[in-house]
């Protein structure tokens, strides 16, 4: 912008306001204009058409009685076709814009809870843009964009929100840990049940094998040594196993002390007891096989 010898220069993206004796004449576009002062013409001022930005901090109370500071960025510009209104109707457009933003925010935020303010900030910005756009259009200004760039609750409210979030995550972690431990316990129980089932089968098969082995030994010895009864063969086999057991107990260094009646006269009683026990086991096993 410059003026010399009744010539006035208007820069790009600006307009000049020409007056004659204090009365509006026309809007001067970018370029060089002849404005003769001798007939009362003059350029009383220039108006920029560039987009301007205004940051506004507004404190408001939410529906759940939490005070928050909302930071709004307003982007606006003067309209070239309404440059006369923009130049003459408002002396302080920035203060006027700020007042309208305050009015709309303090009417919109109290309808929302704190969480909803964060989630619906775009809707709040849209409301501000609509109301502010209608109001400023009458003064020759266009609202280009409204941005809510920050929402700042009180520091104590922030801390409380963080604690709530932390407690919720801790609760979720505890539930997940408990579920994991539950799965481990179930798997351990299933493994233990399967192990006991297999061990039971093994014991049953072991006892059946012992019975079958004794039976085969009795038959073979009776056929090899004529004149021996089945009872004599069983007594000999049982006594051999009994003596082997005594030997094994004595040679082990990790066993506990075991008291058993032992003597030459007691061998017959021990043999009778062992034989009766094995015969009962064999009968039980045979009954089990028949039932199966």
Contacts of 128 (CB under 8 A, 6+ apart): 72, 101, 104, 105, 108, 146
Instruction: Tell me how far apart the alpha carbons of residues 179 and 61 are, in angstroms, rounded to a whole number.
Output: 42
The 3-state secondary structure of 217-261 reads HHHHHHHHCCCCCHHHHHHHHHHHHHHHHHHHHHHCCCCCCCCCC
pLDDT-derived band of residue 118, with 50, 70 and 90 as boundaries?
A: confident
pLDDT in tens, 45-98: 888 889 999 999 988 888 888 888 899 999 999 988 888 888 888 888 899 899
Mean of the per-residue pLDDT values of the chain: 79
Sign of CA dihedral 120, 121, 122, 123: positive
Statement: the pTM of the whole predicted model exceeds 0.85 = no
Mean pLDDT of 166-173: 82
Which of the two residues, 229 and 192, has the higher pLDDT score? 192
Which of the two residues, 275 and 240, has the higher pLDDT score? 240
Which of the two residues, 173 and 235, has the higher pLDDT score? 173
> Which region holds residue 268: left if phi is over 0, alpha if psi is between -120 and 50, else beta?
alpha
Mean pLDDT of 148-163: 80
Query: Which tokens belong to 130?
Result: 């609509």
pLDDT above 60: residue 272? yes
* DSSP secondary structure letters along 255-283: PPP------GGGHHHHHHHHHHHHHHHHH
Instruction: Tell me how far apart the alpha carbons of residues 278 and 222 are, in angstroms, rounded to a whole number.
Output: 19
Instruction: Tell me how far apart the alpha carbons of residues 71 and 125 are, in angstroms, rounded to a whole number.
Output: 11
pLDDT in tens, 191-202: 888 888 888 888
pLDDT above 80: residue 174? yes
pLDDT above 80: residue 258? no
Mean pLDDT of 163-172: 81
Q: Which helix (H) or strand (E) holds 97?
A: helix 93-108
- What local confidence, expressed as pLDDT, does residue 273 receive? 67
Task: Say which DSSP state 291 is in.
Answer: H
Contacts of 87 (CB under 8 A, 6+ apart): 17, 45, 47, 140
Mean pLDDT of 12-24: 84
pLDDT above 60: residue 282? no
SS3 205: helix
């Amino acid at each position: 912008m410059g003026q010399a010898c009744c010539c006035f220069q208007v820069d790009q993206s600006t307009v000049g306001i020409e007056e004659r004796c204090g009365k509006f004449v026309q809007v001067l576009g970018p370029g060089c204009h002849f404005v003769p002062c001798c007939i009362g013409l003059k350029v009383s001022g220039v108006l920029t058409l560039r987009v301007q930005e205004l940051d506004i901090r507004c404190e408001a109370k939410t529906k759940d009685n939490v005070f928050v500071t909302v930071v709004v960025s307003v982007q606006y510009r003067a309209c070239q076709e309404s440059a006369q209104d923009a130049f003459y109707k408002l002396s302080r457009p920035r203060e006027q814009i700020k007042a309208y933003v305050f009015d709309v925010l303090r009417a919109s935020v109290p309808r929302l809870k704190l969480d909803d303010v964060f989630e619906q900030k775009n809707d709040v910005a849209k409301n501000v843009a609509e109301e502010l756009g209608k109001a400023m259009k009458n003064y020759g200004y266009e609202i280009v964009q409204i941005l809510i760039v920050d929402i700042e609750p009180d520091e104590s409210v922030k801390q409380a929100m963080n604690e709530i979030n932390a407690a919720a995550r801790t609760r979720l972690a505890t539930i997940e840990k408990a579920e994991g431990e539950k799965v481990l316990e179930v798997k351990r129980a299933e493994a233990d049940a399967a192990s006991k089932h297999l061990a039971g089968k093994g014991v049953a098969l072991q006892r059946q094998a012992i019975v079958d082995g004794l039976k085969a030994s009795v038959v073979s010895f009776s056929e090899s040594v004529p004149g021996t009864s089945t009872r004599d063969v069983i007594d000999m086999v049982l006594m051999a196993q009994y003596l082997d057991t005594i030997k094994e107990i004595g040679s082990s260094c990790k066993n506990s002390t075991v008291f058993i009646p032992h003597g030459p006269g007691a061998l017959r009683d021990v043999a009778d007891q062992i034989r009766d026990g094995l015969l009962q086991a064999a009968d039980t096993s045979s009954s089990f096989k028949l039932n199966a």
